[in-house]
Amino acid sequence: MSKITDPAQFGRVAVVMGGSSAEREVSLDSGRNVLAALKARGVDAHAIDGIPALLDALRAGHFARVFNILHGQHGGGEDGVLQGALESLNVPYTGSGVLGSALSMDKTRSKRVWQSLGLPTPKFVALPRGADVHAAAREIGFPLIVKPAREGSSVGVTRVFEEKDLEAAVALAEKYPGDLLMETLIEGDELTVGILGREVLPTIHIVPKGAFYDYNAKYIAEDTRYICPGLQGDAEAELRTLSLVAFDALDCSGWGRVDVMRDRQGRNWLLEVNTAPGMTSHSLVPKAAAVAGISYEELCWRVLETSFDRDRGIPGGRP
């Protein structure tokens, strides 16, 4: 249930979107939707494009809090840099803090944390630039995934089934900043689990028409099917529990989305956490929220409410 009843309690809200990451267009789409939803509920919300413009406006005292719907790293606002700036300015904001954002953006470090806690994640090898990718592939075994270690929205991701396709996969991933990650390709069902405060939303089973849930299937195609809840009974409860444990393990808070593969034997494998998930017409958290009886406008309101937990110094509203 909502904790805030009067939109004036939020003050003037900056909805920061766009930015300069590889996910700029998705962020702009998400941001427009969030802005419209907040305005429809009477919130004094305004669009700001990118971190430099936001920080200028905050230093000038124009906003009371920030709804962060930037995606990605390097100006994308999802890697801990923006969060650190907002902390230094004592401006409350939505989403995870510095550590949770930075850890989640770096898939290699996320997986190391989960591994250290005995949580299931596919076997992986970190690939610094110039590493011997063929030796890494021999260690992982085919089929495998090659991806940038710090990007989202499936940009730069390739499924590799044979060694002859390895070089092309690496070349694609290297178009993006930072190191690469190679991991075992889990063949099975792709699921995702939204987190809203301490509430775990129903799981979604994603069924793309193509081979896997790539950028086109996420944001462009109209033939991807979404089954929600994605599982039933004990399997659904087990995955929701695992997702919250994985979310907490990375010090995430506020809201987010945990992406998982479920293999043919019914085992769950953690892939990554998104700390500022998409809010487009194709996005997953709004779909799960709708099944839980939460409208898009109410979802945006409740995400914005989580910024008050920072006012009280309680990261993400944890008890």
In the residue annotation, 213 being an active-site residue is answered as no
Catalytic residue among 29, 79, 251, 272: 272
Which residue out of 240, 257, 262, 302 is catalytically annotated? 257
Q: Which of 30, 33, 96, 153 is catalytic?
A: 153
For residue 106, what are the contacts with CB-CB under 8 A and spacing of at least 6?
79, 149, 150
- Evaluated on CA atoms 90, 92, 96, 101, the torsion sign reads negative
Marked catalytic residue, from 78, 259, 305, 309? 259
Which secondary structure element, helix H or strand E, spans residue 68, and what is its range? strand 65-68
**Catalytic residue chosen out of the listed positions 219, 230, 254, 268:** 219
Of the residues 18, 23, 95, 151, only one is catalytic, namely 23
Catalytic annotation present for 257? yes
Whether 153 is catalytic: yes
State the DSSP H helix or E strand holding residue 190, giving kind and residue range, or none if neither: strand 188-196
Separation CA 82–CA 14 (nearest Å):
13
Catalytic residue check, 163: no
**Is 278 annotated as catalytic?**
yes
Active-site residue flag, 259: yes
Active site residue 274: yes
Ramachandran angles phi, psi of 296, nearest 5°:
-60, -45
| Three-class SS state of 204 | strand
Burial label, 74 (beta-carbon count in 10 A; 0-12, 13-18, 19+): middle
Name the active-site residue from 243, 274, 283, 307: 274
The whole-angstrom distance between residue 43's C-alpha and the CA centroid of its chain comes to 25
Q: Which of 80, 100, 194, 278 is catalytic?
A: 278
Kindly list the catalytic residues.
23, 153, 219, 257, 259, 272, 274, 278
